[in-house]
A and B are shown apart, each in its own frame.
Chain A
Amino acid sequence: MKKLDLLPGTLDLMVLRTLQTMGSQHGYGIARRIEQISGNQVLLNQGTIYAALVRLQQQRWIDAQWGVSDNNRRAKFYEITDSGQKKLTEDSEAWWRLASVIEAMLGPQESDR
């Protein structure tokens, strides 16, 4: 099956959610986590994650700090901020509402028919 292209804005949401559940994490860890959760269904060019990270940072939704990883490598660690938590809550709500609308519009899945 072809991998899914990410909808605009969804990567930000994924990153925020990852940081919320995992706490402080570096870019590589975030990328791994997203791939794991999605079961490798999304097409994630891992390099693009850093553009999302800097964008979120400039919005003050996440914070960054240099630190040392488990296997002793210097890496930048990201953490969700309070306003990031708020943003995540808002965006998740919006996403669920949108998803339910889309679901209602499209009806039951083909396989159920």
Chain B
Amino acid sequence: MRWLRKLLAVVRKQQLDEELQEELAAHVDMLTDDNVAAGMSLDEARRKARLSVGNLSMAHELHRDARGLPTLESVLQDVKYAVRTLRRDYGFTIIAVSILALGIGANATVFSVVDALLLRPLPFQEPHQLVWIENGDPNSPGSTNPSDTASRVAVFRGWRDNSGLFIDMGAYSPFFTRGSYALTGDGEPELLMGVRVTDNLFRVLGVDPQAGRFFSRGETVTGGPPVVILSHRLWQRRYEGDPGVIGRTIELDDQATTVVGVTSAEFDFASVFAPGYGVDLFVPADLDVMANWSNTLSVVGRLAPGASLAAAQVELDIINARLPEEQPELANSSFAAFLSPLQTHVSKTVRSALWLLWGAVGMVLLIVCANLSNLMLVRSVSRRRELAVRAALGAGKMRLVRQLLTESIALAALGVVAGLGLALVALRAIVTSQAVVLPMLEQIRLDTTGVGLAAVITLAVALIIGTVPALQVSRRDPFAELSHSSRGAVGDRAQTWTRSALVVAEIAIACTLLVGAGLLMRSFGQILDVPLGFEPAQRASVKLGAGSRYDQPEALDQLQRQLVASVRSIPGIEGAAFTDSLPLDGNRTWGLWRSELEPTAENVKTTFVRLISDGYFHTMGISVLTGREFSADDGADTEPVIIINETAANTLWPGEDAVGGMAGIFDGERRVIGVVSDVRHNRMDEDPGPEMYLPLPQMTSSNTSLVVVASGDPIALAGQIRGAVQEIDPQLPFTNFRPIAQLVDRAVSPRRFFMSMLGGFAGIALLLASLGIYGVISYSVGQRRAEIGVRLALGALPSRVLLEEVRRGLGMTLAGLAIGMVGALLVARLMASQLYGVGTTDAATYGVMTAVLLTVALVAGFLPARRAARTNPVTALRDG
């Protein structure tokens, strides 16, 4: 209570002072009255009265100390003084705060991303118990193609039923990105993305529904009631979060389906398992039906408490060895189980890039430290006189330290605030940007630990370097310092050395970052230059899935032919065709072999599959190398045909003409009628594997996309295309008509993200390093102004002075470059996995970055050097 009253007294200072003033005045008046009454003259009475009251300002001072918090008040005084000083040196303040803000902002941003993706546990119950169980194809290790990583139903069941170390195992079908569900009935028809999940997947993950319930065992078997779970996003978007939707029947693929539950807002399936895609629905996975297909399940298991990953791996290996005997259908297939913590799996694709980014941002922080230290050092020298004056006036050493500390803290506070602002803006941009495809994106929050850490480190370094030299003053005789003329204040040799060393370090770090960023940029350029095999420009696509109204193959074929014909007739459209999966947009593979050979593991090649309509190659800009493409005549009753890509042709028919050969797939043999160019179907940075194309009329699918090529911008024709489609069937959903280029953008998005982040950091580093060079040279030039004046007066050529100063800058730059290049070589090795088409010692990158750094450094050194050369000897000598 008393502290509160004291604090209140500090706040109400002015009012209390005024009251005291009045009280003291009354005191003097009353005393004067009494003195007059005692017989004094008025003047005498007043003089006497004043004398007995004593020093009024002293009374005020005592009063303040008694009622308030003297320590706090002197701190406030320090703060006031600091603010005044910082405002007076606003140039210094702005630069220092900007540097701090850049360092802290960059660190806070990256730390927040790292935290969300790598450090924070997944938003599931006991996430450390969750294990990702991946199949593996010995022929393509490390493949990201779901056909390789998913497991067969029989294998999944074998694990689930025989394992003792797992409490439970759940699964989903990773091929959902290719499929879709048409939502019709009330409102605009819409195509939704739905994932088939086992009834227990949510229980395994340990998430709760927002409303309703999850699936029961009876709903995930053949003939079970049609049920669906809505994602929180769809529930909000389409049903405005109405809890009454539970139990309601909706039309999904022309089938009345009951909504049984809604997932919670925190559970974002796609951000964990399929970043970059949106998931709208969950539907029951009918394992009995899916058992007839090949690898269809991505498996997540929950370990029993205390069970280790290694033990579980051994257990599943043992089960795998036994399975072919127990389940004859598995006799000829190869499968395996590779276990990894789910968290590791989720962040797998970005892990090394993130560590890299974290390292880079740490380097930026180092530069910030160096730069700030340099600034503080310069300032401490120029403030020696001020501090000496204060010491001479009786300021104690502690008081000076406290004042410098207060100033640094004020500076840091400004820097932290500005840095936080920067980080917030950056994070917002990252999270909301459609172009950034990262797992767990929605989980990114501004992490204050990161901010605090960065602030403390920066400040500690700057304080030590900035305060220590300033304090040397108080150790010395302040009068000696004061009697020094400013001409003598060159700064000691040690300090000059420190400053140069700091600049060299800055250049070295900037050089390392520049080369790293350069290598990433080169890789990115290489990726963008990769022959895609198709033309993204002027092309767009829309998912046009037909519901069960068209479950007869003939009806579907008819519909697709009608749609294509109708769209092709729109003016400006140069081609239209159907495909069941677009490049870079989810994949599956089937086995392909030469039908005259036995389909053994050796002869069967894992091959990407596309079911397409005629005209697809022309529409997508894929070139037909030999043979012909599908025609409208290739139908259900004509000879089964197939088109393969160059890689498949060279693999299966090396040195021969594949056209005319017979290829085998699971449903029989097909004649190869053409060979087309390779298309990057899976990833931009993965060489295309064997690919095959089958005509839709011979292998129907309702999960199709319509692709169009226009003479101009196809998006401008969206309305007409939609009209043409819905004229044929108004119940066909026509949503998300998008340029094919978006697929390419999404595919390169993580790379683009890391490249631009690292590029930004390298830019900051370059800026700070050049600022460092500029600062050091312009400071030394300023200090030696008189000396330069004398030399010029004695006949030294200005060009010589210029050259000398530039050379000083160059010396530091070269030293920094030499160290930085060694660092760059080491860093490049660490980031080898992030590079594409560029060696870690790519001469062009190293050369260009050296040139960039040299140029910037030369300019930064040249500006102050020129000022030195232009020194007017007369004024320089006069000003001393």
Shortest distance in angstroms between A41's beta carbon and chain B's nearest beta carbon?
A: 15
Q: Which residues of B contact A28 (CB under 8 A)?
A: 26-27, 30-31
Contact B30 A75 (CB under 8 A): yes
**Interface mask (A20-54 → B, CB under 8 Å = 1, otherwise 0):** 00000011100110000000000001111011101
Shortest distance in angstroms between A69's beta carbon and chain B's nearest beta carbon?
A: 7
Stretch at the interface among B51-59, B587-595, B614-622, B691-699: B51-59
Smallest Cβ-Cβ distance to A74: which chain B residue: B26
Q: Which residues of A contact B5 (CB under 8 A)?
A: 58
Q: With an 8 A cutoff between CB atoms, is A55 at the interface?
A: yes
CA distance A86 to B9 in the complex (A): 25
| A interface size (C-beta, 8 A) | 22
With A45-B54, A46-B52, A73-B29: A54-B23 Cβ-Cβ less than 8 Å: no
Q: Which residues of A contact B52 (CB under 8 A)?
A: 46
Contact B26 A51 (CB under 8 A): no
With A28-B26, A71-B33: A46-B54 Cβ-Cβ less than 8 Å: yes
Q: With an 8 A cutoff between CB atoms, is A10 at the interface?
A: no
Q: With an 8 A cutoff between CB atoms, is B20 at the interface?
A: yes
Q: Which one, B26, B53, B59, B67, contacts A55 given CB within 8 A?
A: B67
With A28-B30, A55-B67: A50-B20 Cβ-Cβ less than 8 Å: yes
Which bracket fits the contact residues of B? 20 to 34
Shortest distance in angstroms between B172's beta carbon and chain A's nearest beta carbon?
A: 69
Q: Which residues of B contact A55 (CB under 8 A)?
A: 66-67
Q: With an 8 A cutoff between CB atoms, is A89 at the interface?
A: no
CA distance A73 to B33 in the complex (A): 11
With A27-B27, A75-B26: A58-B67 Cβ-Cβ less than 8 Å: yes
Q: With an 8 A cutoff between CB atoms, is B83 at the interface?
A: no
Q: Which one, B2, B26, B54, contacts A48 given CB within 8 A?
A: B54
Q: Which one, B6, B19, B26, contacts A73 given CB within 8 A?
A: B26
Q: Which residues of B contact A73 (CB under 8 A)?
A: 26, 29-30, 33
Contact A51 B59 (CB under 8 A): yes
Q: With an 8 A cutoff between CB atoms, is A59 at the interface?
A: yes
Q: Which residues of B contact A48 (CB under 8 A)?
A: 54, 59, 62
CA distance A46 to B9 in the complex (A): 22
Smallest Cβ-Cβ distance to B30: which chain A residue: A28
Q: Which residues of A contact B33 (CB under 8 A)?
A: 71, 73
Shortest distance in angstroms between A82's beta carbon and chain B's nearest beta carbon?
A: 16
Shortest distance in angstroms between A66's beta carbon and chain B's nearest beta carbon?
A: 9
Contact B26 A54 (CB under 8 A): no
Report which residue of B20, B22, B23, B33 has the largest number of chain A beta carbons within 10 angstroms of its beta carbon.
B23
CA distance A32 to B66 in the complex (A): 22
Q: Which one, B23, B53, B62, B65, contacts A75 given CB within 8 A?
A: B23
Q: With an 8 A cutoff between CB atoms, is B24 at the interface?
A: yes
Contact A76 B19 (CB under 8 A): yes
Smallest Cβ-Cβ distance to A52: which chain B residue: B66
Q: Which residues of B contact A71 (CB under 8 A)?
A: 30, 33
Q: With an 8 A cutoff between CB atoms, is B399 at the interface?
A: no
Q: Which one, A46, A54, A76, contacts B66 given CB within 8 A?
A: A54
CA distance A58 to B530 in the complex (A): 80
Tell me which residues from 1 to 36 in chain B have a Cβ below 8 Å from any Cβ of chain A.
2, 5-6, 9, 19-20, 22-24, 26-27, 29-31, 33-34
**Interface mask (A46-90 → B, CB under 8 Å = 1, otherwise 0):** 111011101100110000000001010111100000000000000
Contact A69 B26 (CB under 8 A): yes
Q: Which residues of A contact B29 (CB under 8 A)?
A: 73
Q: Which residues of B contact A54 (CB under 8 A)?
A: 63, 66-67
Contact A47 B67 (CB under 8 A): no
Tell me which residues from 652 to 672 in chain B have a Cβ below 8 Å from any Cβ of chain A.
none
Report which residue of A50, A52, A69, A71 has the largest number of chain B beta carbons within 10 angstroms of its beta carbon.
A50
Shortest distance in angstroms between B465's beta carbon and chain A's nearest beta carbon?
A: 44
Report which residue of A31, A45, A47, A55 has the largest number of chain B beta carbons within 10 angstroms of its beta carbon.
A47
CA distance A47 to B55 in the complex (A): 7
A-to-B contact residues, CB < 8 Å: 26-28, 31-32, 45-48, 50-52, 54-55, 58-59, 69, 71, 73-76
B-to-A contact residues, CB < 8 Å: 2, 5-6, 9, 19-20, 22-24, 26-27, 29-31, 33-34, 52-56, 58-59, 62-63, 65-67
**Pairs across A and B, CB under 8 Å, 13 listed:** A27-B23, A46-B54, A47-B55, A47-B56, A47-B58, A48-B62, A51-B63, A51-B67, A54-B63, A54-B66, A54-B67, A58-B67, A76-B23
